[in-house]
Amino acid sequence: VILVAVARREISRVGPASRKRCATEGVFSFRSKALEGMLAEQATGAYLDIIGEHKEQVDELMPVTRSFKNKGIEKQFNFNNKLLVRLKKVKKLLKKSKVEKALSSVRDLLKVVEDHAEDLTVADSSRHGWLTVSLLRGESDLPTDLLKKVEKIDNRLDKTRPQRDEYRSRKSGQFAQRLERQGGSGGTQTWRQKNQGPEEALVSFSKTKRQGTCSHCTKSGHYYRECPDFWKCVNEGREKESN
């Protein structure tokens, strides 16, 4: 209370002109501070928007940490991930009531989806797949001279492909005919020789041409252990002994 009374007494001592000047300066000072606050708030918002846009761009360009066995699935996942980042950006713009920017982003997204659908069609119809898409979109990092060499090699291989296919077809046909003559089916056959009895072994040995002279019958082509007459005599001797 004492301080308020002292302040009023000091103001009453000041003349009307001084009081008017002080009031005007006070108003200007208040407005200046308010303007500074508004500018600072707008600058902070602009900085935050710039940082947010930069983060979105980084997220869009960041490679996928997950590894895929199928490269086609990995490529589609990367596309979906970039699309998701940009859709989140549209969502933020709508929350901030920035309708025009949101509509502009939606138009860009529509163009991206249409281009991707076109890329899928080109990759499916071209014999070189996604390599053709990369060259079509100009996304290849290879030098121009190297790309020309690749194109020449591809054309040369395309010209020789019918000859190579004909050669492979001819070789496979010859192999099939050879198997047919041999009575084979083309598969790997595994077999185990059947165990033979003494009589069957003798017959088999008798049909097999071998070098040597039999000491029992003095005939050539086998030895005495392979001689049917020898074993016949042996069996007859055993029968006599048993009787």
Q: Find tokens 């007494």 and name the residue.
A: 9
Q: Does residue 198 lie within any of the structural domains?
A: no
* pLDDT recorded at residue 13: 54
Q: What is the pLDDT of residues 48-64, one digit of tens each?
A: 666 666 566 655 556 55
Q: What are residue 220's DSSP bridge partners?
A: 213
The residue from 62, 84, 116 where one domain ends is 62
How remote is the C-alpha of 112 from its chain's centroid? 21
pLDDT tens column, 94-122 = 988 888 988 998 999 999 889 888 888 88
User: Is position 54 within any domain?
Assistant: yes
Asked if residue 213 belongs to a domain, the reply is: yes
Mind listing the pLDDT tens digit for each residue in 158-204?
777 666 666 666 666 666 666 666 555 444 444 455 566 655 665 66
pLDDT classification of 12: cutoffs 50, 70, 90: low
Half-sphere exposure of residue 74, counting CA atoms within 13 Å on the CB side? 9
- Residue count (the chain): 243
Q: How many CB atoms lie within 10 A of CB 227?
A: 21
pLDDT score, position 186: 47
Q: Is residue 155 part of a domain?
A: no
In a domain, 154, yes or no: no
Question: Does 233 reside within a domain?
Answer: yes
How far apart are the C-alpha atoms of 26 and 21, rounded to whole Å?
8
pLDDT score of 216 more than 70: yes
Q: Residues 154-158: contacts with CB within 8 Å, 24+ apart? A: 154/128, 158/127
pLDDT tens by residue, 63-97: 556 777 887 788 888 888 888 888 888 898 898 88
Query: What is the phi/psi pair of residue 142, to 5°?
Result: -75, 145
Q: Note whether residue 147 is domain-resident.
A: no
Residue 27, in any domain of the structure: yes
Domain count of the chain? 2
Q: Which residues form the domain of 234? A: 209-242
- What is the arithmetic mean of pLDDT over 120-141? 76
